[in-house]
Amino acid sequence: MTLKQFFERAKLLKQKLQEEESSERYKEWVDRAKDVWRHYRPKEVKKKIAAIDSGWNYRTYCGFYLYAIRAMAVAPSSEIVIEPVVEVDILPMEAEGSGVNPELYMKSIAECYEHDLASRASNLSDVVLVDGSILARLNEKRILNRVKLFKEYAVYVRPLRNSKNILFISKYSQDRSLVGGALGDVYYINKATRGIGYTEPITTEKDGLVVSVFYMSIVKKIPTRYTWKFLR
């Protein structure tokens, strides 16, 4: 694709969005987003919070990858809640001929460590925040069925079933189950309101996990999608 074709394509996509926003069904979806949005005035509450995140990187050598992974659980004060997990190892170019790319492999291993830290931190904190969507992670898990990593991943997901205070935060969401529009729910919520508030949770079940999904904005900006994992 040439640069000219790229800009022509971008122009067409903009026109497509403009046409969508002028349709009657678009107005219906925005009205639906207004109906489900609950305005709220927040007040400060003292809680023990732990935030979970990880990072990884790798370098390619002849015949293998050298990678490093680190996962942490920290408090708002930057104090370490649980000792960080650090792993440095090598990975064959194709793990047992699976064809799983190194990015997915390392991302999955890092998420295993995040789930373990979240499960342990849930016993020490009132609320545990994890970067990323648990539903998206479980959807990707199907790809891991082709390799032994699937069993390891499932082992680290299983303890989350017994936790009621773990919050997975997804900054970008494609989910359409709330508004039911052509685009993701968050698109219509952004159009409908800029105020502080939330949507009522929608409960769903995925691979044995009962998950409650809702949108929330704590500042007058773009709402963020949250998934709260709890037992039925």
Which of the given ranges, 70-84, 146-160, 208-222, has the highest pLDDT on average?
A: 70-84
CA 31, CA 39: separation in Å to the nearest integer? 15
**End-to-end Cα distance, the chain:** 50
Residues above pLDDT 90, as percent of the chain: 33
For residue 2, pLDDT beyond 80: yes
Please give the radius of gyration of the chain, using alpha carbons only, rounded to the nearest integer: 21
The mean pLDDT of 7-16, rounded to a whole number, is 85
- Structure confidence at residue 144 (pLDDT): 67
- Structure confidence at residue 232 (pLDDT): 35
For residue range 148-198, list pLDDT tens digits in order: 666 777 778 888 887 889 999 887 777 888 888 888 888 898 888 888 999
- Structure confidence at residue 230 (pLDDT): 45
**What ranges in the chain are assigned the alpha helix state H?**
3-21, 24-36, 102-121, 134-140, 149-157, 185-192
pLDDT band, very low/low/confident/very high, at 231 (cuts 50, 70, 90): very low
Asked whether the beta carbons of 109 and 153 are under 8 A apart, the reply is no
For residue range 95-137, list pLDDT tens digits in order: 544 556 788 888 888 999 999 999 999 999 999 999 888 888 8
The mean pLDDT of 16-42, rounded to a whole number, is 88
Domains and CATH numbers, the chain: 49-162 (3.30.420)
Q: Which of 40-49, 149-158, 220-229 has the lowest mean pLDDT?
A: 220-229
Structure tokens at 112: 């295993």
The mean pLDDT of 196-223, rounded to a whole number, is 80
